[in-house]
Amino acid sequence: MTLQGKTALVTGGGRGIGRAICLRLAKMGAKVYINYVAGADTAEAVQREIADFGGQARVLPFNVADAVAVAEAVKTLIAEAGAIDILVNNAGITRDGLLARMKEEDWDAVVDTNLKGAFLCAKAVSKQMMKQRFGRIINIASVIGCTGNAGQVNYAAAKAGLIGLTKSLARELASRTITVNAVAPGYIVTEMTAALSEEARAQLLSEIPMAVLGSAQDVAGAVAYLAGPDGGYISGQTIHVNGGMYM
């Protein structure tokens, strides 16, 4: 229970990696605010899972790309909880397509959610974190932000930008005992990977030295380490969780 008494906000916390992070932080004792913009049912299901093992959780719907909505949500959270100790910027979307055919709105949607959303949330919580002289900001990046990938110029650019944001913000906030790090997952078991053909799955595994896909729990473990006391002297770093795919 190393996060007992701490409050965490996890964006996009209703499913997949976000869900695993919410569960892990709650099991460590944190009070978790589960953000979502669509899919109230899944977010509420995570809240119930946490309540079932005696943890504390609330749902907090807002669009991370909307500055006013973010500011109001964080204000509400702080008024209720009294503090915000951990922010996990996990919310993200994809709108894949080759550059020549990519619509401008597909570029904007991905960058607004995946990068601007992290900027807005970090800005909103940093004021309280600086006041309390403590905080942990963890950005969920991607191996694609480091390697690039055909058909994902918007996603790769946003995730690479997230790593740059992480490093710069770590320098800005270090004097207030606020750490800022990124976790970059590789190929993780999801609904999408579960639907792959055997041939496509084999091709995917051939790119991973460990020859297995990762799990959402693998990513949650890295987040939990950075959020906890053992990660207190780590800042400005990108932790790669990818089975050796990118070194």
Nearest CA to 90 among 16, 173, 151, 164?
16
Residue 200 resides in a domain: no
CA distance 2 to 155: 34
CA distances from 231 to 23, 37, 94, 177, 225 (A): 19, 30, 30, 12, 6
Question: Which residues does residue 138 pair with via DSSP β-bridges, in sequence order?
Answer: 88, 181
Range of the domain at 101: 7-188+216-239
Question: Which residues does residue 12 pair with via DSSP β-bridges, in sequence order?
Answer: none
CB 42, CB 14: distance < 8 Å: yes
Q: How many CB atoms lie within 10 A of CB 183?
A: 27
Q: pLDDT of 136-167, one tens digit each?
A: 999 999 999 999 999 999 999 999 999 999 99
Residue 50 resides in a domain: yes
Residue 34 resides in a domain: yes
User: By three-state DSSP, how is residue 230 classified?
Assistant: helix
- Report pTM: 0.96
- Report the number of secondary-structure helices (H) and strands (E) in the chain: 10, 7
Residue 13 resides in a domain: yes
Residue 46 resides in a domain: yes
Domain count, the chain: 1
DSSP codes, 122-158: HHHHHHHHHHHT-EEEEEE--THHHH--TTBHHHHHH
CB 169, CB 120: distance < 8 Å: no
- Whether 194 has a pLDDT exceeding 80, the answer reads no
Q: What is the mean pLDDT of residues 168-188?
A: 98
Question: 155 an active-site residue?
Answer: yes
Catalytic residue among 36, 155, 233, 246: 155
Q: pLDDT of 89-112, one tens digit each?
A: 999 999 999 999 999 999 999 999
CATH of the domain at 175: 3.40.50.720
DSSP codes, 75-127: HHHHHHHS---EEEE-------B-GGG--HHHHHHHHIIIIIHHHHHHHHHHH
Token output for 174: 């270090």
- Half-sphere exposure in the Cβ direction for 55 (13 Å, CA): 28
What is the longest distance spanned by two Cα atoms in the chain? 53
Residue 211 resides in a domain: no
Residue 195 resides in a domain: no
Residue 196 resides in a domain: no
User: By three-state DSSP, how is residue 244 classified?
Assistant: coil
Q: pLDDT of 16-71, one tens digit each?
A: 999 999 999 999 999 999 999 999 999 999 999 999 999 999 999 999 999 999 99
